[in-house]
Amino acid sequence: QQAFLSNAAHQLRTPLAGLQTQLELTLDELPPDARSRVSRLQEPLHRIAHLTQQMLALARSSSDAVLATERRPVPLHALAASVVDDFLDAAVAKDIDLGLEPGEATVQGSAWMLRELLANLVENAIRYLPCGGRITVRCGVGPGGGACIEVEDDGPGIPESARAGIFERFRRGGDAAAPGSGLGLAIVREVADRHDATLTLSDGAAGRGALFHLEFPASQN
């Protein structure tokens, strides 16, 4: 099943990227009255491409063999800075204050998996946070002596009654009307498990928003 999922997602990714490019080129050549109708295809196409990418990431992160060959020192402060930089434009578009509080921390693991984990947490926060909100990404050394990553926001949060299943595939914890595949947090859980990390979800500061905390074993530093 994992091999099929990975192969299917990989085969879909290239033609979908080509289709997105052709659609963008076509829009520039259309008369104004037709442009608005065709432009409505961009959002569902983007969602399909994003779902395909997440399917591929989920399949790849489920492979113990892959992690065994890719385990190496990953500086979390550099990784966090890079991910925050990638999402700055999306945050600015919603007037969201996306900040970084980096601390020196290194973990033994897969750099691309950990990047996928953090990117999904930040993307989820931006998607469900109302305009004008705040997101803070942190990394450093946790209370147990192991490296840690945190993503905190001051949005509506996730009710405790919904938290038990929030990391299951195709489960949506926030506004169901917001675009999303329901795979982002499943990928987060899968990557955390592959790294023997402890993943917790709690309220943010002053009981507002959500705080995702990931802590690695001290032996992986």
Query: What is the pLDDT at residue 177?
Result: 43
Give the integer Cα–Cα distance in Å for 153 and 129.
8
Instruction: State which amino acid sits at residue 68.
Output: A
Bridge pairing between strands 72-75 and 106-109: antiparallel
**Cα angle: 163, vertex 166, 170; to 5 degrees:** 155
Q: Is 101 within 8 Å of 117 (Cβ atoms)?
A: no
Mean pLDDT by 10 residues, the chain (221 residues): 62 73 81 78 75 68 58 94 91 94 92 88 91 95 91 88 67 47 76 91 88 90 69
Q: Is 144 within 8 Å of 156 (Cβ atoms)?
A: no
Give the integer Cα–Cα distance in Å for 215 and 217.
7
Instruction: Report residue 1 as tokens.
Output: 């099943």
Query: What is the pLDDT at residue 178?
Result: 46
Between the two ends of the chain, the Cα-to-Cα distance in Å is: 33
List, edge to edge, every strand of the sheet that includes 97-101.
97-101, 134-141, 147-153, 210-215, 198-203
Query: What is the pLDDT at residue 36?
Result: 77
